Amino acid sequence: MTDTLAVPTAVKTGRSLIHTDLFDRLTARISTEHPELGADMPARIVDQALVFLGACAVATRPIGPSELVDIGWHTFVLYTVEYRQFCDEIAGRFIEHVPDDDRPAKPVPPSMPVTLADTVAAIRTAGYRVDPQLWHGDGADCNSKCNQCHAGCHDSPRG
């Protein structure tokens, strides 16, 4: 009998999706604007915001960020030229960030609830590494302040 060892598939990081200098600039901005996060958290947030966006590019179901990951997305959006280029390269389209200040007037249908577990599964399916500490708590339920779900995306089905 021959034992076969399973070779794990390479898992991508968010850091690998952009140039080091841009990653460092995003991390530094979060460090400055959110000193309460500590020394290592800003880089982890940027990494997970990037894997979230990478998953948005290929997800077949609605997904949304956790509160901490949303900090990274907000920060990246401020770098509009780099953000647009990233979206074009990773998704072939612009991934809009649509704040939901008043919560959706029409809730997401029960058949399409968005959970953090759905988002984590989509990230893993897309081949990215998940930092579990950044994916719990409030967030991707389409009742958070920002979403990539069908309730707010520029190419969302209407109806």
Q: 60: which DSSP letter? A: S
Is 103 contained in some domain?
yes
Is 30 contained in some domain?
yes
Answer yes or no: are the C-beta atoms of 153 and 91 closer than 8 Å: no
Is 75 contained in some domain?
yes
Is 97 contained in some domain?
yes
Phi and psi at 29, nearest 5°, equal -65, -45
Domain of residue 20 covers: 15-147
pLDDT in tens, the chain (159 residues): 444 454 455 689 999 999 999 999 999 999 999 999 999 999 999 999 999 999 999 998 889 999 999 999 999 999 999 999 999 999 999 999 877 665 554 454 555 567 899 999 999 999 999 999 999 864 443 344 444 443 333 333 333
Is 41 contained in some domain?
yes
Give 44-72 as a DSSP string: HHHHHHHHHHHHHHH-SS-----HHHHHH
d(CA 13, CA 54): 10
Is 90 contained in some domain?
yes
